[in-house]
């Protein structure tokens, strides 16, 4: 499988896990000029932007560590564009979660980072 196919498979696995945790999946792989968000969902009154990171083992570090400041800024800009283009106003509570897949272990880090403006 190529990298895109592998990524899609883990995003779907993460989505299934989130569904089991009570999330409502709105969209997979939202893309715009600002960037990409793996999963857009709703959970507990929040609009949630989810980044999925996978690692086979510990050798490359924890998956969530790959969501660095640069990645956070890109996700934040993309989330802002998503809200504006989908009619979500400034009063919509939003958060950024990271789903970390390490081997067979799936872990959700809720509110993994705050909005990291431009």
Strand partners, 102: 55, 105
pTM of the model: 0.90
Task: For residue 68, report the phi and psi dihedrals to the nearest 5 degrees.
Answer: -80, 180
Phi, psi of 89 (to 5 degrees): -85, 180
Helices (H), 23-112: 69-85
90-99 pLDDT per residue, tens: 889 999 999 9
pLDDT in tens, 8-18: 888 999 999 99
Domains and CATH numbers, the chain: 3-113 (3.40.1350.10)
10 Å CB burial of residue 6 (0-12, 13-18, 19+) is exposed
pLDDT at 60: 61
């Amino acid at each position: 499988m190529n990298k895109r196919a592998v990524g899609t498979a883990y995003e779907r696995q993460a989505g299934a896990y989130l569904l089991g945790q009570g999330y409502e999946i709105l969209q997979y792989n939202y893309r715009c000029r600002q960037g990409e968000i793996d999963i857009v969902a709703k959970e507990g009154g929040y609009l949630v932007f989810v980044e999925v990171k996978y690692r086979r083992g510990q050798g490359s570090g924890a998956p969530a560590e790959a969501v660095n400041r640069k990645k956070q800024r890109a996700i934040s800009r993309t989330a802002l564009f998503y809200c504006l283009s989908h009619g979500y106003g400034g009063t919509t509570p939003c958060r950024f979660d990271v789903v970390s897949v390490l081997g067979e272990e799936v872990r959700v880090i809720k509110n993994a980072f705050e909005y990291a403006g431009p």
